[in-house]
Amino acid sequence: MAWLRGLRGWLERRGFNTRVPVTWNRLWVLMWVYFSVGLLTAVFYVSFWTWLVLALLFFGVPEAIGIRASGDAFPPLTHVIRHFLPNYVAFPLIYGLFGAIAARWMEFPRPWPLGALLALLGWLTDHFQATYFDPDPGGVLTPQAVEAIDRSRETA
């Protein structure tokens, strides 16, 4: 199983979390994986109304359970996504699937190009958020530096 340890290390160095927190119920996390993949797959094969009922049952009910208490063994899907996926994967994935699903429901002949476009928007959103959370890479200009720049512009 050395290859599995190597894969785990490779993923963790890239921001993925591969271990279920000890306070979380492992079956609950596994349920989220199955329900999410199932609902995201079903959206392309069933009518909107059928999918809505499925989403209420397989997302709405577990999500309501997950948000009723903070810090228990049954986290909401958002917490599970945040724990396991780095933001640079989660945002494009969510935006891209949103675009493809919206295109499917609006009966676009090819939903995946819109999904790809919105995935790019998700990546850009994440990228710029991360950039704006850090200090300005250009630094902060002192009042003296601003005056010097203004003087140089006046003489130019």
| pLDDT over 90, % of the chain | 64
Query: What value does the mean pLDDT take over residues 95-115?
Result: 92
Range of the domain at 33: 21-134
Using the predicted structure, report yes or no on whether residue 105 has a pLDDT greater than 70: yes
Is residue 130 situated within a structural domain?
A: yes
When divided into structural domains, the chain yields a total of 1
Is residue 8 situated within a structural domain?
A: no
Q: For residue 55, which phi and psi values (nearest 5 degrees)? A: -65, -40
Is residue 150 situated within a structural domain?
A: no
pLDDT (tens digit, 9 = 90+) per residue, 6-51? 888 888 888 888 899 999 999 999 999 999 999 999 999 999 999 9
Is residue 84 situated within a structural domain?
A: yes
Predicted structure pTM score: 0.76
Using the predicted structure, report yes or no on whether residue 137 has a pLDDT greater than 70: no
- Give 141's pLDDT tier (boundaries 50, 70, 90): low
